[in-house]
Amino acid sequence: MNAREVLAAYAERINRQDFNLLTDLIAADATFWFTNGTYVGIAAVRDAFETTWKLMGSSEVYWLDQQQWIVESDDAAACTYRFNWKTDTSSGAGRGTTVLRFADNRWWIVHEHLSPRPA
Protein backbone atom coordinates (compact mmCIF):
# COMPACT_ATOMS: atom_id res chain seq x y z
CA MET A 1 0.00 0.00 0.00
CA ASN A 2 1.13 3.54 -0.64
CA ALA A 3 0.74 6.32 1.96
CA ARG A 4 -2.69 7.36 0.71
CA GLU A 5 -3.93 3.77 0.79
CA VAL A 6 -2.63 3.32 4.35
CA LEU A 7 -4.55 6.38 5.55
CA ALA A 8 -7.70 5.23 3.75
CA ALA A 9 -7.40 1.74 5.26
CA TYR A 10 -6.83 3.26 8.70
CA ALA A 11 -9.95 5.41 8.51
CA GLU A 12 -12.04 2.48 7.30
CA ARG A 13 -10.71 -0.01 9.87
CA ILE A 14 -11.33 2.34 12.80
CA ASN A 15 -15.04 1.76 12.27
CA ARG A 16 -14.63 -1.93 13.04
CA GLN A 17 -13.51 -1.02 16.58
CA ASP A 18 -10.85 -3.74 16.70
CA PHE A 19 -7.38 -2.36 17.33
CA ASN A 20 -5.77 -5.56 16.04
CA LEU A 21 -6.87 -4.44 12.56
CA LEU A 22 -4.78 -1.27 12.94
CA THR A 23 -1.50 -2.72 14.18
CA ASP A 24 -0.14 -3.33 10.68
CA LEU A 25 -0.68 0.38 9.88
CA ILE A 26 0.66 2.11 13.03
CA ALA A 27 4.38 2.12 13.86
CA ALA A 28 5.39 0.59 17.19
CA ASP A 29 6.93 3.92 18.25
CA ALA A 30 4.06 6.14 17.02
CA THR A 31 3.03 9.27 18.89
CA PHE A 32 -0.64 10.29 18.89
CA TRP A 33 -1.82 13.66 20.19
CA PHE A 34 -5.50 13.76 21.06
CA THR A 35 -7.46 16.44 22.89
CA ASN A 36 -7.36 14.35 26.05
CA GLY A 37 -3.66 13.45 26.03
CA THR A 38 -0.45 12.30 24.38
CA TYR A 39 0.04 8.61 23.66
CA VAL A 40 3.48 7.25 22.81
CA GLY A 41 3.98 3.68 21.62
CA ILE A 42 1.54 1.16 20.25
CA ALA A 43 0.31 0.01 23.71
CA ALA A 44 -0.61 3.55 24.76
CA VAL A 45 -2.26 4.23 21.40
CA ARG A 46 -4.25 1.00 21.76
CA ASP A 47 -5.45 2.05 25.21
CA ALA A 48 -6.56 5.46 23.88
CA PHE A 49 -8.53 3.90 21.04
CA GLU A 50 -10.15 1.22 23.16
CA THR A 51 -11.14 3.75 25.83
CA THR A 52 -12.69 6.01 23.18
CA TRP A 53 -14.60 3.14 21.60
CA LYS A 54 -16.07 2.16 24.96
CA LEU A 55 -17.09 5.77 25.59
CA MET A 56 -18.59 6.34 22.12
CA GLY A 57 -20.30 2.97 21.77
CA SER A 58 -20.59 0.55 18.90
CA SER A 59 -22.74 2.86 16.79
CA GLU A 60 -19.87 5.30 16.18
CA VAL A 61 -18.97 5.98 12.55
CA TYR A 62 -15.73 7.83 11.74
CA TRP A 63 -14.57 9.32 8.45
CA LEU A 64 -12.11 11.79 6.94
CA ASP A 65 -12.71 14.47 4.33
CA GLN A 66 -11.10 17.64 3.02
CA GLN A 67 -7.77 15.82 2.77
CA GLN A 68 -4.72 17.82 1.72
CA TRP A 69 -1.50 15.90 1.19
CA ILE A 70 1.05 18.51 2.20
CA VAL A 71 4.14 16.28 1.86
CA GLU A 72 4.69 13.20 -0.30
CA SER A 73 8.19 11.90 -0.86
CA ASP A 74 9.85 8.51 -1.13
CA ASP A 75 10.14 8.14 2.65
CA ALA A 76 7.67 10.55 4.27
CA ALA A 77 4.13 11.80 3.77
CA ALA A 78 1.79 14.07 5.71
CA CYS A 79 -1.89 14.74 5.31
CA THR A 80 -4.19 17.29 6.94
CA TYR A 81 -7.93 16.67 6.99
CA ARG A 82 -11.23 17.15 8.75
CA PHE A 83 -12.23 14.15 10.83
CA ASN A 84 -15.89 13.46 11.50
CA TRP A 85 -17.76 11.15 13.83
CA LYS A 86 -21.32 10.35 14.68
CA THR A 87 -23.19 8.05 17.02
CA ASP A 88 -26.89 7.38 17.45
CA THR A 89 -27.15 10.42 19.73
CA SER A 90 -24.41 12.90 18.80
CA SER A 91 -21.86 13.95 16.20
CA GLY A 92 -18.79 16.09 15.85
CA ALA A 93 -15.80 17.04 13.76
CA GLY A 94 -12.31 18.44 14.15
CA ARG A 95 -9.07 18.81 12.30
CA GLY A 96 -6.29 16.31 12.04
CA THR A 97 -2.82 15.65 10.73
CA THR A 98 -1.31 12.26 10.04
CA VAL A 99 2.39 11.73 9.32
CA LEU A 100 3.62 8.54 7.68
CA ARG A 101 7.11 7.19 7.05
CA PHE A 102 8.39 4.52 4.71
CA ALA A 103 10.44 1.95 6.63
CA ASP A 104 10.98 -1.78 6.34
CA ASN A 105 9.61 -1.68 2.79
CA ARG A 106 6.18 -0.33 3.82
CA TRP A 107 4.32 2.78 4.97
CA TRP A 108 3.59 3.31 8.68
CA ILE A 109 1.56 5.92 10.54
CA VAL A 110 4.07 7.49 12.95
CA HIS A 111 2.10 10.48 14.20
CA GLU A 112 -1.47 11.66 14.44
CA HIS A 113 -2.71 14.93 15.89
CA LEU A 114 -6.45 15.47 16.32
CA SER A 115 -7.92 18.66 17.73
CA PRO A 116 -11.25 20.49 17.82
CA ARG A 117 -12.22 22.82 15.00
CA PRO A 118 -11.32 26.42 15.71
CA ALA A 119 -14.21 28.60 16.83
Q: What are the tens digits of pLDDT across the range 27-77? A: 999 999 998 999 999 999 999 999 999 988 899 999 999 999 999 999 999
Choices 3.10.450.50, 3.30.360.10, 3.40.50.10490, 3.90.280.10: CATH for 3-116: 3.10.450.50
Do 55 and 68 meet the contact criterion of CB atoms below 8 Å apart? no
Task: Map out the domains of the chain as residue ranges.
Answer: 3-116
For the question of whether the overall pTM of this predicted structure is more than 0.75, the answer is yes
